[in-house]
Amino acid sequence: MSTKVVLIPGDGIGPEVAEAAQRVIDASGADIAWTVRHAGEAALAAGEKQLLPQSTLDLIAEYGVALKGPCTTPVGTGFRSVNVLLRKTLDLYAAVRPIRTMAGVHSRYENVDLVIVRENTEGLYAGIENEITKGVTTSIKVATEGASRRIADYAFRYCRERGRKKVSVFHKANIMKLTDGLFIRCAREVHDAHYQDIAYEEVIVDAACMKMVQDPTKFDVILAENLYGDIISDLCAGLVGGLGVTPGANIGEKGAVFEAVHGSAPDIAGKGVANPLALVMSGVMMLNWLSVRRSEPRFAECATRIRRAYDRALTEGATTRDLGGKLGTMEFADARVARL
Ligand code: NAI
């Protein structure tokens, strides 16, 4: 029987990369029954009253899995981020973002292979902002023991299950003594109690950024609260060739939403030039996740076939403009399909 997955095309380049990713995943033989649901500006354009319609949330909750294109969030004013709302409402508490150098993708580094595990539900993204008086604003950072322990446990478990060796916690507890102080205390306690076989270090986030740029191969699994995790995700994308090659997953106890790290890229939307690889790679993560969750090895086999196809296509130079190639979005997808 087909496996039901919600497909959210999203905004900007979202529909283009979503169509390409869907085409590649289908060509792998993964038997997925996609149901399209909208979120973001696309939801309003489709006649919905809300940016994150209840019907979209309900279907993700029912199927337990979605592949999502990016959604636009206006800067400074306007509506709250659909992404933040989605992750919070469905309690998708762990953002997992693998970062690795790939043959055929130009970057300044070699042998980068790290994973960011970002706390996805609190920190400054709690959205508690006030204008105290004209010209004076505040934003409240939230850190709870429950969420901090939960994400630490996820990061250490992830590290152990994948044979990785070290967890580095990025923090600013020298300044934010209570919130970041609690975050690292929880990580340390979870480590000491259950994961002493895994190496553990605490690194102040600004120094960590410098160290990453100097030598990213020193890092393995990075554990970070929400804002640091967001920022270093783009920094890390830059280490391995850009946002076109950086996939991601938002994982919770009851389900998962897979999406690339990049946004809706309004500067290139509608031109057919966006690189769909990050969403294809997110799809590969989804197939591997389905394989474990549903105990269906065939999904892992499809994931491996897709990975081999895009690795081969990259080394043969079949790629999009952002990676130095000439292919458009759908040509890029077709080049992968041809190698499947
Ligand atoms: P962005 O990631 O959309 O774009 C940054 C730069 O990278 C742009 O020059 C863009 O052309 C390029 N780029 C991004 N993805 C690409 C791809 N697949 N292929 C080729 N080039 C690519 O970041 P920006 O401009 O800060 O955000 C635009 C909108 O996206 C904002 O409204 C933001 O809130 C939203 N956003 C949504 C996310 C999500 O839905 N998960 C994540 C990040 C941003």
Distance of alpha carbon 142 from alpha carbon 194, whole angstroms: 25
Angle, vertex CA 194, rays to CA 189 and CA 198, nearest 5: 95
Give the strand pairing for 256-259 and 113-119. unpaired
Could you tell me the residue range of the domain that residue 133 belongs to? 122-239
For the record, the structure tokens of 295 come out as 């105990």
Atom of ligand 1 nearest to the CA of 279: 18
> Taking the CB of residue 325, how many other CB atoms lie within 10 A of it?
18
10 and 100 both lie in a single domain: yes
Tell me whether residue 258 is in a domain. Answer: yes
> In a mutational test of the pocket of ligand 1, which residue from 8, 75, 262 has the highest number of ligand atoms less than 8 Å from its CB?
262
Residues 16 and 82 in one domain: yes
Looking at the structure, do residues 284 and 135 belong to the same domain, yes or no? no
Same domain? 311 vs 235: no
Domain end point (choices 239, 257, 292): 239
Q: In what side-by-side order are the strands of the sheet with 65-68? A: 32-36, 3-8, 65-68, 256-259, 249-251, 94-100, 113-119, 221-224, 166-171, 199-204
Q: Is 264 contained in some domain?
A: yes
Active-site residue, 322 included: no
Say if 208 falls within a structural domain. yes
Residues 339, 268 share a domain: yes
pLDDT attached to residue 219: 98
Residue 171 amino acid letter: H
Ligand 1 mean position to 264 CA, how many Å?
Answer: 5
172 as an active site residue: the answer is: yes
- Looking up tokens 């553990």 gives 200
Domain-located, residue 112: no
101 and 247 both lie in a single domain: yes
Domain of 142, CATH number, reads 3.40.50.2300
The residue among 213, 239, 265 that closes a domain is 239
Instruction: Please provide residue 8's backbone torsions phi and psi, each rounded to the nearest 5 degrees.
Output: -110, 105
Whether residues 146 and 163 fall in one domain: yes
The CATH number that applies at residue 334 is 3.40.718.10
pLDDT tens series, the chain, 340 aa: 899 999 999 999 999 999 999 999 999 999 999 999 999 999 999 999 889 999 999 999 999 999 999 999 877 767 778 898 999 999 999 999 999 999 999 999 999 999 999 999 999 998 899 999 999 999 999 999 999 999 999 999 999 999 999 999 999 999 999 999 999 999 999 999 999 999 999 999 999 999 999 999 999 999 999 999 999 999 999 999 999 999 999 999 999 999 999 999 999 999 999 999 999 999 999 999 999 999 999 999 999 999 999 999 999 999 999 999 999 999 999 999 998 9
Using the Cα atoms of residue 323, residue 326, residue 332 and residue 336 in order, give the sign of their dihedral: negative
CA dist 172 → 18, 182, 184, 208, 269 (Å) = 37, 11, 9, 10, 36
**Domain total for the chain?**
2
Report the C-alpha gap between 223 and 201 in whole angstroms. Answer: 10
**Do residue 96 and residue 129 come from a single domain?**
no
With 0.75 as the threshold, say if the pTM is over it.
yes
Asked if 229 and 99 touch (Cβ cutoff 8 Å), the reply is no
- Distance, C-alpha 205 to centroid of its chain: 20
Same domain, 58 and 141: no
Positive or negative torsion for Cα 220, 240, 5, 70: positive
Q: Indicate whether 4 and 98 sit together in one domain.
A: yes
Q: Is 265 in the pocket of ligand 1 (CB under 6 A)?
A: yes
Quick check: 12 and 73 in contact, CB under 8 A? Answer: no
Cβ–Cβ < 8 Å for 273, 265:
no
Pocket of ligand 1 contains residue 268 by CB under 6 Å: yes
Q: Is residue 115 part of a domain?
A: no
Residue 306's pLDDT is what? 97
State both tokens at 160. Answer: 């152990």
Give the span between the Cα atoms of 262 and 280, in whole angstroms. 13
CB of residue 257 inside a 6 A radius of ligand 1? no
- Answer with the one of 222, 239, 256 that is the final residue of a domain: 239
Q: Let me know whether 234 and 267 are in one domain.
A: no
Residue found by looking up tokens 């890092």 in the block:
219
Residue 117 in domain: no
Q: Which residues contact 117 (CB under 8 A, 6 or more apart)?
A: 94, 95, 96, 151, 154, 155, 158, 221, 222, 223, 224, 229
Q: Is 137 helix (H, G, I), strand (E, B) or coil?
A: strand
Which of 153, 230, 310, 322 is catalytic? The answer is 230
Ligand 1 centroid – CA 72 distance (Å): 8
Furthest CA-CA distance within the chain? 60
Q: Is residue 74 part of a domain?
A: yes
- 127 lies in the same domain as 235: yes
What is the 8-class DSSP label of residue 217? G
- Burial of 246 by CB count in 10 Å (0-12 exposed, 13-18 middle, 19+ buried)? buried
Q: Which of 221, 242, 241 is nearest to 96 (CA)?
A: 221
Q: Catalytic: 311?
A: no
Q: Please check whether residue 110 lies inside any domain of the structure.
A: no
The angle, 0 to 180 degrees and rounded to 10, between the axes of the packed helices 205-214 and 226-240 is 10
